[in-house]
Homo-oligomer: A and B are copies of this chain.
Amino acid sequence: MTPVWFMRQAGRSLPEYRALREAGGTMLEACLDPATASEITLQPVRRHGVDAAVFFSDIVVPLRLVGVEVEIAAGRGPVFPEPVQTAADVARLVRIDPSLVEERGESIVDAVQRTTAMLAEEGERRGEALPLIGFAGAPFTLAAYLVEGGPSKDHLGARSLIHSDPSAWHDLTHWLAEVTGRFLALQVRAGASAAQLFDSWAGALAPADYRRAVLPASAAALEPVRALTVGGDRAVPLIHFGVGTGEILADMASIGVDALGVDYRVPLDAAAARVGSHLTLQGNLDPALLFAPTEVRRAAVHETLAAGLAARAHVFNLGHGVPKDTDPDVLTDLVRTVHAWRAS
C-alpha cells in the first residue's frame, strides 16, 4: 500500500485547527506551546487517516529560538522587522551562538514527546505505527526571507547577495545551516522518525548558483541529523523538497537524502529518470486538482500512483502544500483513494 501524507496537512484547511487558533495567540506562540502544537499535529491524522504526522511548526522557529526577531503575519508569512542585507547585518547575526537552539528548545522537545505519545495511542487504535516527520527550512529559503525581510515574488534580494557579496552569503547560509540543522536534529532526538528539509524557494535559483552557492549549505544543514545513528545506521530517513525544482532535482538529491519531494510540474516517472531509481519519491498531485470533480480528481490520483511506480518507493503527497480553501472531505477522500489503489 502506498503511504500518504500531505504537506501542510495540519493547518487552515481544518475547522478544528481554525477553532483552536481562534482561541488566541500568534502562529509562533502556537508553535512554541507543546499542548497546542501536538494537538494540531494530530488533527489531520485523526481526521484523514494519513499514514504520518508532520510536526506542526514553522521554518522560522529556530531563528526565534536563538533570539532573531520574527513574526508570522496572517495570510502573508514570515516577517523580519530587521532584514539581513549587508555584510555588517550578516556579521551581527552570525555572532549568535547556534547552540541556543538546544538551550532554548525545551518546548520543541516537549511538543515532539507529547506528539509521539499521542501518535502511539492513535497507532494502537489503528493497529499500525504512525511516524512523526520532523522538518526544518533549508538555508536558502530561510535566507530568502531574512534578506527581503519577508516573503517576495522572486527572492531577488537573496539571489543577488550570492553575487554581490559571496563571502557574506557563505557566512549567512552556513550559520543558517547550523541553526536549522540543530532544530531538525532536536526533533529527531526527541522522537521524530523522519526528517524533511524544505527548500521551498530553491527553484528560483539558476542551477549553477544552486550547485555552487546553496547545495553545500543544504548538505551542511543535514549534518546534525546525519550524525545521529542507531547501531551504526542513520537514525532516521531524510527527505528533501522544493517547488519548481525540475532543473535541479538531481542536485537536490545529491545532498544525501533518502527521499525527494517532487512538485506537480514534473511527473514522477520523469523525476525518477532524472534522479535515478535509488530514491524514494514523494508527491505530487497538483493542488489545483483538489477543486476538480471527484472522478477527475480520482483519475489524477491513479495517474500519479502509476507514475510513482517508476521510483524505488513512492509516498503519495501533493505537489505543494494544502491550500487553505481546501474542502477537508476532499483530502479524506484522497487518502481513501490512495489506500484503495492496487497497481494493476
Contact = CB atoms under 8 A, between A and B. Distances in A.
A296 B208 CA distance: 14
Q: Which of A153, A244, A267 has the most CB of B within 10 A?
A: A244
Interface in A278-297: 286-293, 296-297
Contacts of A247: 246, 265-266
Contacts of A156: 287-288, 323
A154 B164 CA distance: 29
Contact of A286 (B203, B206, B246, B292): B206
A162 interface: yes
Interface string A258-287: 000000111100000000000000000011
Contacts of A206: 264-265, 286, 288, 319
Contact of A163 (B162, B265, B291, B320): B291
A291 B168 CA distance: 14
Given A159-B286, A246-B247, A288-B159, A207 B164 contact: no
Q: Which 5 A-B pairs have the closest CB atoms?
A: A163-B292, A160-B291, A159-B288, A164-B291, A160-B288
A209 interface: yes
14 contacts: A151-B153, A156-B287, A156-B288, A156-B323, A159-B288, A164-B291, A203-B244, A206-B264, A206-B286, A207-B267, A209-B288, A246-B247, A247-B265, A247-B266
Interface of A: 151, 153-154, 156, 159-164, 203, 205-209, 244, 246-247, 264-267, 286-293, 296-297, 319-320, 323
A264 B264 CA distance: 21
A162 B264 CA distance: 15
Contacts of A292: 160, 163-164
A222 B222 CA distance: 49
A166 to B, nearest CB: 9
A160 B207 CA distance: 29
A280 B171 CA distance: 41
Nearest to A290: B160
A289 B291 CA distance: 39
A318 to B, nearest CB: 12
Contacts of A297: 163
A163 B244 contact: no
Contacts of A160: 288, 290-292
Given A156-B323, A203-B244, A244-B244, A163 B266 contact: no
A164 B265 contact: no
Contacts of A290: 160
A154 B320 contact: yes
A161 B296 CA distance: 13
A12 to B, nearest CB: 14
A244 B203 CA distance: 8
Nearest to A265: B247
Contacts of A208: 267
A317 to B, nearest CB: 15
A147 B340 CA distance: 35
A291 B86 CA distance: 13
